[in-house]
C-alpha cells in the first residue's frame, strides 16, 4: 500500500515564525502536491512538483514556498506565518500516468494553528 | 478552465436510505473523474474513479457513471450505513496536466 506521511498532525506556531511542513511518500511517485483545506472552501492547491527540484504554483501560492530535493520528500515552507494561514494542510502524491491522471494518495493532514 | 460543482451539504440521512450526491464538471478534452472520501480526522482516499465516457466506477456499494452528454458524475449508494458518514469530494484530472481539480466537498451524516 502507498503510504504518505506528514511530520506532524497538530502544530501551533506564532505569527512571524518560519514553519516547515514535511511530507514523505514511499512509492516512488513522480508527482507531489500540497493543499490547504478550509471549511466551505474545499481543497485548494498551493504548490505541486512533478520531479525532483521541479515545482509549479497552484491556485494559492502566496505566502508559501516549497522544496523537493529528493523524490520521496516534499516540504512546504511558510516563510513568516500569519493567522490567515491557520488551516488543515494535506500532502498528496501520484504516479505520472501514461493513460490518464492517476489517483492521488493523501497523507493524514497537519492541522496548523497560528497565534 | 476546469471546474467541479458539487451538491451543497450537509446531507443527513437515516441508515438504509438511498444516497445521491450530484457532481457536474467543466473541462476541455477528456478528463478522468474521481470520488474521494475523507473520514473524520483523516486525509482523503480514493473511493472510485472512471477514465472515459460511460465508464462506471464502483466500490463499497457506491457507484458513479461518467456521463459526457450531461458532464456529470453523480455518486449513488442504495443503502447507506452509519460508517459512511464522511466528507465526499468529486474531482477531475486531465491527462498530461498532472494536477486534479476538486469540488468543495459534501458532508454526509448517517443517523441510526
Least confident of A45-54, A64-73, B103-112: A45-54
Of A59, A86, A61, nearest in space to A76 by CA = A61
From CA A92, how far away is CA A44, in angstroms rounded? 12
- Please, which residues bridge with residue A6 across strands? A23
How far apart, in whole angstroms, are the C-alpha atoms of residue B20 and residue B78? 9
A16 close contact with B: CB closer than 8 A:
no
Return the residue in B2, B23, B33, B44 with the most chain A beta carbons within 10 A, the one to mutate for interface testing: B44
Residue A79 pLDDT more than 60? yes
Pick from B95, B102, B105: which is nearest to A100 by CB? B95
Instruction: State the pLDDT confidence band at A98, using cuts at 50, 70 and 90.
Output: low
Q: Which among B93, B97, B103 has CB closest to A42?
A: B103
pLDDT of B31 over the 90 cut: no
pLDDT band at A99 (very low <50, low <70, confident <90, very high): low
Can you read off the three cell numbers belonging to residue B79? 443503502
Q: Which of B84, B95, B99 is nearest to B30 (CA)?
A: B95
- SS3 category, B97: coil
pLDDT band at A103 (very low <50, low <70, confident <90, very high): confident
How much is the mean pLDDT over chain B? 92
pLDDT at residue A102 tops 80: no
Distance of alpha carbon A106 from alpha carbon A108, whole angstroms: 7
Tens-digit pLDDT profile for residues B50-97 = 988 999 999 999 999 999 999 999 999 999 999 999 999 999 986 555
Best to test chain A binding among B2, B31, B98 (most A CBs inside 10 Å): B98
| Cell, residue B41 | 480526522
Amino acid at each position: 500500500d502507498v503510504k504518505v506521511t506528514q511530520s506532524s498532525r497538530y502544530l501551533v506556531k506564532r505569527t512571524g515564525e518560519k514553519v516547515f511542513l514535511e511530507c514523505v511518500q514511499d512509492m516512488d511517485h513522480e508527482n507531489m502536491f500540497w493543499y490547504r483545506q478550509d471549511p466551505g472552501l474545499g481543497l485548494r492547491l498551493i504548490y505541486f512538483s512533478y520531479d525532483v527540484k521541479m515545482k509549479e504554483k497552484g491556485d494559492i501560492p502566496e505566502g508559501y514556498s516549497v522544496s523537493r530535493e529528493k523524490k520521496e520528500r516534499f516540504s512546504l515552507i511558510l516563510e513568516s506565518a500569519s493567522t490567515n494561514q491557520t488551516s488543515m494542510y494535506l500532502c498528496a502524491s501520484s504516479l505520472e500516468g501514461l493513460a490518464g491522471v492517476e489517483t492521488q494518495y493523501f497523507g493524514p493532514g497537519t492541522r496548523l494553528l497560528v497565534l | 478552465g476546469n471546474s467541479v460543482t458539487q451538491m451543497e451539504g450537509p446531507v443527513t440521512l437515516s441508515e438504509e436510505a438511498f444516497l445521491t450526491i450530484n457532481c457536474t464538471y467543466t473541462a476541455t478534452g477528456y478528463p478522468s473523474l474521481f470520488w474521494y472520501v475523507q473520514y473524520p480526522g483523516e486525509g482523503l482516499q480514493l473511493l472510485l474513479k472512471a477514465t472515459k465516457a460511460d465508464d462506471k466506477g464502483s466500490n463499497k456499494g457506491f457507484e458513479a457513471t461518467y456521463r459526457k452528454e450531461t458532464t456529470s458524475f453523480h455518486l449513488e449508494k442504495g443503502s447507506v450505513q452509519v460508517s459512511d458518514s464522511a466528507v465526499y469530494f468529486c474531482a477531475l484530472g486531465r491527462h498530461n496536466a498532472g494536477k486534479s481539480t476538486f469540488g468543495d466537498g459534501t458532508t454526509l451524516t448517517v443517523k441510526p
